[in-house]
Structure 1
Amino acid sequence: MRFRVRPRQLARSLRELARREPQQVQDYLAANPQEWDRIAERDPYDAADVLEALPPETAAGLLGQLDAASAAEIVEEMQPASAAKRLLEMGPAQGGPMLEAMDADEVADVLHELDPEVRQPYLAALDGVMRRDVERFISYGPDTAGGMMRTDVAALSADLTTAQATKELKAMSETFDDLSYVYVVNADQQLQGVLSFREMVFASDDTSLARVMIRDPVTVGPEADREEVAELIQRFHLFAIPVVDSGQRLMGIVTVEEALEAIQHEAGEDMAVAVGAGSEESTYTGPATSIRMRLPWIVVNLFLATVVSFTIRALEGEIAQNVVLASLMPIVALLGGNGGAQALAVTIRAMAINQVPSQRIREVVVREFQIGLSMGVIIGLMSSAVAFLASAGNSRVAIAMGIAVFVNLAVGALAGAGIPIVLRRAGFDPALASNIFLTFFTDVLGFAGFLVVAAMLL
């Protein structure tokens, strides 16, 4: 079998097929190796998708068929965890030249997925300069400005004239893909400002760059958290932000694309930890590791669910006397849980982008509680009507239902806003399994609260 299509169309067809039938793609590329060469040359992005869908050993073999530069382009488009597995299959001897052809920050992202002892042979395969750069990136961590930055920065000396700078920029255009920002540094590589192209165009040829640059640009240190970097880029509408050391020496830049990727990664982490999955878990994480990350929180969930169960059992007499209550309890718990989850999502997202400083905690909690109260009134009245019909016109059941829904929505919203704030105060990740604790509160109120109110009225 051989597809008679253009390389890009072939790559996309194989990518889609690889997700469903990886063995067919594996067999096709083994029988038609020249097609793999065409895909790798024309479309590294789709080639990366194909490799991620194939078994690591097969993908490593396909990478090994390419020259180091072509393989490097593809690996840079892969997820770091996926690329690391393929690199392990290649080994240091075959993978070293490929890593050497990659950008240092990209190599660090891949090697960071490996245990330190496994990582060493691959670092040893790099030349001295590259190895130092990669080790520096790894030391900062992938969630910091130092770990996210790229070091190929367009910079000019402050002593240059505008005429000299124009010649330098023409030469830079052959090396740099993006010249949106050109930074101005002194002889010690300390950041002085950002070049203003408008001012440079209208200045005389002998004007120094120091006179046409924009001084005091927004900067971050290499240890700055990705959330801080993303917030600054968003606040000041930047395409990139320079990273400087303690001596204000220019180290690199974090682009808006890298910041966006960091925000997406942060959102994914928050979603994962909110439900008790590991923040570092992905679809490439081994089953044993995933089980180890998730199991503790499922055990916690079991314990809390047991408490809810015993609470219901203590009030089973009320259920026996009024069987209709059993059919209405899940509604109360579900409504409170959903209302609390909305407050939880808004609060965690706000905390992720630093919109909840200590002075705004009261404002945020009160706002969510007010919303919960309002929702409680509206949904409580609607729930009363449902309970009235379900209980064949029993007004006391309807009143109990309305009160229970009102209280559960209000308290659920309060808990949804308060749990991540309390976790942060305690030194934990604000999203750390917060959904598990929220469910406990709303279930106890939904089940026990409803039965207690019903017992008082019936």
Structure 2
Amino acid sequence: MTDAAPALDPAPPGGPVVDDEVVGNVEALVEGGERGMVLNLVADLRAADQATLLRHLPLGAAREVFAWMPGEARSLVLPELEGAERGGLLDGLSTDALVALIDPLDTDDQADVLADIELDQVEKVLVLLEDALDVEALLSYGDDTAGGLMGTEFVAVPASATVAEATEAVREKAATVDPVFVVYALDGAGRLVGVVPLKRLLLARADALVADVAEPDPIAVEPDLDQEEVARVMERYDLVALPVVSAGGRLVGRITVDDVLDVVREEAEEDIQRAVGITGEEELSSSVFAVSRGRLVWLLLGLCGAYVSGLVIVGFEEALQVAPVLALFIPIVMAMAGNAGIQSSAIAVQGLASGDLWSSDLARRLGKELAVALLNGVVLALALALIVVVSGFGEDPARLALTSGLALLVVIVLSTLIGATVPLGLSRVGIDPALAMGPFITVSNDILGLTIFFAVATLLYL
């Protein structure tokens, strides 16, 4: 009698369900045409994990697995994929096949999927969707606005309705509105006048009026509000669902917390990419040309900045000939200028992104940054001066220590102040302050730092 095969160890809490081994096994099964085994494996995964699997498979294998999956599972996995990934899986499908996949989705997800297919096919699919009018309205909004985020599925009742009638409305719409967090109370013109959390609705008397149990003056946003501000509103007021109203106050949709989590992640990724000099959205599925185009602009700027830095050094060529030891401090000054600028700009960008830092805070912010820069600059200047004296560099180590230390102090102070103010300036003129980090600050502070260093060296050391 043989022992039973050992059970697989469960995935650690929060650990990956799909890893390289799983992807490799599925790829091998697809190549062997083992459809049944693939479907058994995929059926045990949640939609988010199925999306992870499809994302890491080669496109050909991913399209094969997607084609084998049942219709309902294929629909559920689409919202979990990125735009380019969806486009690759849906490419070549007939209009009827696309309608069958898209129609079961919430309207906001339908709009997202339609945005990733060929334009001439969008019109053909749109007219066949059950919620065509709602989806068409959503497509008219920008992708990064409240209108682009919202769904048109919600539970709303007249404010004059009873709690029993509102509860029945929840039951009737439970199949299409998922999840149900609140019931919206509307006046006779369809304007939002109150919100009833589901818990309050269940605990209220059946014969009570919705108007009497609803929370008045609900927090709402208009469709053209930027998605980043939407996330701030929901975070500030701890909302799990945010109603979207027209300019006249009529309820047109709602944004749920899961949509905002995606926004927070996307905005964070975008800021990180811009901070290191990447424009546009770079995804794993992006083409080589698209990735190159997004990076090349800032690399060219860095090249120009490095050339200008070289010109600064050439401009002080005589100083280097008289005191070649000064060349030792060029990388030190450039590195410290860039680091100090990036540190202060990162804090400024973080404050602007969270909404905690306002333009009116400029004076207080600069005062604090100046104090920090002076403290750090003095400590670093003394450390560098001590190293120079102990090492005995140059013919006059004491003077060289004074020169290098003073130059470093001035460089750190100015670089810190520039890093703190540039993001605020960019924000005032409508430019993403994340651009201030990385290449922009590094290039400008390299040039500034070298100029200051050689100017001080010329005055004090030569």
Structure 2: which amino acid aligns with 1:302? Answer: L
Q: Are 2:101 and 1:98 aligned?
A: yes
Q: Structure 1 436/94 Cα, relative in aligned 2: closer, same or farther at 3 Å?
A: same
Q: Offset at 1:71?
A: 0.6
Q: 1:40 aligns with which of 24, 42, 47?
A: 42
* Partner SS for 1:369: helix
Shift of residue 63, structure 1, vs aligned partner: 1.3
Point out the structure with the larger helix share.
1
Partner of 2:182, secondary structure, is coil
**Offset of 1:173 from its aligned partner?**
5.0
List per-residue Cα deviations over 1:23-77 (Å, max 9, x = no partner). x642323432112222333312222111111222332222122232111112222
Residue 288 of structure 1 and its aligned partner are, at CA, apart by 0.7
Match in the other structure for 2:364: 363
- TM-score, with structure 2 as normaliser: 0.88
Q: How far 1:93 moved relative to its partner?
A: 5.1
Could you report, residue by residue, the CA deviation over 1:112-137 in whole angstroms, capped at 9, with x for unpaired residues? 345xxx22314412424434333322
8 Å contact from structure 1 (residues 7, 42) kept in 2: no
Q: What number of residue pairs does the alignment pair up?
A: 449
Structure 1 residue 419 corresponds to structure 2 residue 422 = yes
Q: Which residue does 1:69 correspond to in 2?
A: 72
Distance 2:16 2:199 in 1: 43
Gaps of 5+ in 1: none
Matched with 2:224 is 223
Matched residue, 2:250: 249
Residue 302 of structure 2: aligned partner: 301
Cα distance in structure 1, aligned partners of 2:7 and 2:57 = 21
Change (3 A) 1:266 1:202: closer
TM-score, with length taken from structure 1: 0.88
Paired with 2:268 and 2:208, the residues of 1 have a C-alpha distance of: 47
Q: Is the 8 A contact 2:359 2:424 kept in 1?
A: no
Map Cα deviations across residues 284-318 of structure 1 (whole Å, 9 max, x no partner).
22111222222222222211211110101121232
* 1:446 equivalent in structure 2: 449
Name the CA shift for 1:91/1:402 in 2 (closer, same or farther; >3 Å): farther
The 8 Å contact of residues 240 and 256 in structure 1, kept in 2 or not, is answered as: yes
**Which residue identity is paired with 1:294?**
R
Structure 1 residues 89, 60: closer, same or farther in 2, change over 3 A? farther
Cα offset for 1:273? 1.9
Contact 2:407 2:453 in 1 (8 A): yes
Rounded to whole Å, the distance in 2 between the matches of 1:8 and 1:63 is 26
Secondary structure of 1:355 counterpart: coil
Root mean square deviation, CA, Å: 2.8
Q: Which secondary structure does the structure 2 equivalent of 1:253 belong to?
A: strand
| Residues in 2 aligned to 1:79 and 1:140: alpha-carbon distance in whole angstroms | 19
Pick closer, same or farther for the CA change 1:111–1:397 going to 2, 3 Å: farther
One-letter code aligned to 1:55? P
- For the residue of structure 1 that corresponds to 2:261, the secondary structure is helix
% same residue: 29
Partner of 1:124: 124
Counterpart CA distance in 2 for 1:331 and 1:418 is 24
- Equivalent residue letter for 1:41: A
SS, match of residue 434 in structure 2: coil
In 2, the alpha carbon distance for the partners of 1:203 and 1:104 equals: 31
Contact preservation (8 Å) 2:90, 2:98: yes
Deviation by residue 1:402-437 (Cα, 9 ceiling, x = unmatched): 112211111111111222223234443322365323
Look up the match of 1:346: 347
| Residues 175/131 of structure 1: CA separation in 2 closer, same or farther (3 Å cut) | closer
Give SS of 1:241's match: strand
Q: Which runs of 4+ in 1 moved over 6 A?
A: 3-9
Q: 1:149 to 1:6 in 2, by over 3 A?
A: farther
Q: Which residue of 2 aligns with 1:141?
A: 142
Residues 153 and 253, structure 2, Cα contact 8 Å, conserved in 1? yes
Q: Of 17, 20, 23, which aligns to 2:21?
A: 17
Contact 1:161 1:206 in 2 (8 A): yes
Going from structure 1 to structure 2, the CA distance change for 1:426 and 1:198 (only over 3 Å counts) comes to closer
Shift of 1:8: 9.0
Of residues 196-205 and 349-358 in structure 1, the stretch that sits farther from structure 2 once superposed is: 196-205
1:96: how far off? 3.7
Q: For the residues of structure 2 that align with 1:409 and 1:83, how far apart are their CA atoms?
A: 48
- Alignment deviations for residues 173-231 of structure 1 (CA, whole Å, 9 cap, x no partner): 56544333222123443212011567656654432111111111000011111121111
1:17 offset after TM fit, Å?
3.0
Residue 247 of structure 2 corresponds to residue 259 of structure 1: no
Q: Read off the aligned partner of 2:227 and give its amino acid letter.
A: R
Q: Secondary structure at the match of 1:242?
A: strand
* Aligned-partner SS, 1:142: coil
Query: Contact between 1:189 and 1:249, CA under 8 Å: does it hold in 2?
Result: yes
SS at match of 1:58: helix
What pairs with 1:34-433 in structure 2 (closer than 5 Å)?
34-43=36-45, 44-90=47-93, 92=95, 94-113=97-116, 118-126=118-126, 127-172=128-173, 176-196=177-197, 204-392=205-393, 394-432=397-435
Q: CA deviation at 1:396?
A: 1.3
With over 3 angstroms needed to count, the CA separation of the structure-2 counterparts of 1:108 and 1:7, relative to structure 1, is: farther
- Whether the 8 Å contact between 1:276 and 1:433 is mirrored in structure 2 is no
